[in-house]
């Protein structure tokens, strides 16, 4: 087993239409506005950029991300990553009963950051808990962003 390899999956129901959710997710340049652990997004090309993450643990993760699937019809966004994390992330937005959305987040990565690789075995539960906390914050921030978008101007 490669202790530096992780697979994550989260599914949430959101009280917003699927298209509205997709429109927020397809703008990674705005993620730092609503997702506190996404500290920086710097576009480097039409479909690529550098992202910096930092959660509760005292280190940053920096990745170069490249869009591999941007499908508004199917409401799927997929990104390949290299750097401190190598692998991919996918958002899939589907309709949920009552006009809401069901959001599926999937991630398959291998950690390349030296410190995390050295601590892979003893700290794996901590790293997984840290990721779970980051995703809870994502869910809260996304819900707030979608709620604010529905307010009249």
Q: What is the CATH number of domain 5-149?
A: 3.30.530.20
- Domain boundaries in the chain? 5-149
The pTM (predicted TM-score) of the whole model is 0.93
Q: What confidence category does residue 149 fall into, taking pLDDT thresholds of 50, 70 and 90?
A: confident
Nearest alpha carbon to residue 21 among 148, 140, 146, 139: 146
- pLDDT for 1 equals 82
- pLDDT at 94 exceeding the cut of 90: yes
Averaged over 103-129, what is the pLDDT?
Answer: 97
Q: How far is residue 6 from each of residues 32, 43, 93, 105, measured CA to CA in Å?
A: 24, 26, 22, 14
Averaged over 13-24, what is the pLDDT?
Answer: 96
């Amino acid at each position: 087993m490669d202790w530096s390899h992780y697979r994550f999956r989260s599914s949430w129901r959101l009280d917003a239409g699927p298209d509205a959710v997709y429109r927020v997710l397809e703008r990674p340049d705005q993620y730092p506005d609503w997702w506190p652990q996404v500290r920086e997004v710097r576009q480097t090309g039409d479909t690529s950029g550098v992202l910096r993450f930092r959660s509760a643990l005292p280190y940053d993760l920096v990745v170069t991300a490249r869009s591999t699937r941007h499908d508004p019809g199917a409401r799927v966004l997929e990104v390949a990553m290299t750097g401190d994390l190598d692998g991919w992330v996918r958002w899939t937005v589907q309709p949920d009963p009552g006009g809401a959305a069901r959001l599926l987040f999937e991630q398959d990565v291998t950690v390349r950051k030296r410190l995390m690789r050295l601590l892979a075995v003893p700290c794996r539960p901590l790293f997984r808990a840290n990721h779970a906390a980051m995703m809870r914050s994502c869910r809260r921030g996304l819900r707030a962003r979608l709620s604010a978008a529905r307010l009249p101007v």
